[in-house]
Amino acid sequence: QHHAQSAVSHAQIAASGPLKKRLWQKIIAAKIENQAAVLRAIGSERAEGLSAMARRVRSGDPDNLEAQAARAYWSALFETFRRHDEDRRNGLLNYGYAVVRAALARALAASGLLPAFGLHHNSRVNPFNLVDDLLEPFRPLVDRMARARAPEEDGDELTVADRRHMAGILAESVSIGEERLTVLAATEAVAASLVRAIYGGDASLLVAPALPLARRG
């Protein structure tokens, strides 16, 4: 097992720039489509525009469609929300992201991948660049949970019950192909697929979680 993990790590480091860009393309397209799914579930008219944007993402996302989608998405999801304000919703989001981030870090390490070496994120002081890359398609599921937990006018501080609620993100369901998995199982499936994509030099082998249809509200 040690030798297998070492081989994965070496293959990861040797991955070509074009392959990394194609992998990032797939990650961002999946993220934007999941954002569209969240908006569709709450009846937002912007959902179809985001889906169209997801289809236009190119290798490496040179047009920065991720940022363009984010502007439309956040203003539709939380009309009065500002991402950096002291806000209970901000706390819910950050807590949920941290839970999924930790699960992804464990899954990547178990697969032999080095979390510090990202596909797009490349900070020298961030030991979890790859984790932050693969977190992107999972973020909209956290967003949806946070929105359901805290209404627009609720600005109280995060409670123990809030943290417990957001920790339940790992038991939420996502789709990978025809299969329904928990978020926790999906982190493992994504990590394993990235290993296959790196070995095969084929970005199409990377799988990404998709949000199942949700009730409006």
Per-residue pLDDT, 158:
86
Count Cβ atoms below 10 Å from residue 151 Cβ, excluding itself.
10
For 156-202, what is each residue's pLDDT tens digit? 678 899 999 999 999 999 999 999 999 999 999 999 999 999 999 99
Interhelix angle 17-41/139-149, rounded to 10 degrees, is 20
* Residue for token pair 């939380």: 78
CA dihedral defined by 144, 37, 191, 195, rounded to 10 degrees? -160
Per-residue pLDDT, 82:
60
Cα–Cα dist 129/135, whole Å: 10
Taking residues 22-27, report their average pLDDT: 98
Residue 172 tokens, joined: 């939420």
Q: By C-alpha distance, which of 73, 64, 52 is closest to 25? A: 64
Per-residue pLDDT, 101:
98
Taking residues 34-59, report their average pLDDT: 97
- DSSP 8-state symbol, 117: S
pLDDT at 8 over 90: yes
Count Cβ atoms below 10 Å from residue 206 Cβ, excluding itself.
23
Is residue 163 within 8 A of residue 149, CB to CB? The reply is no
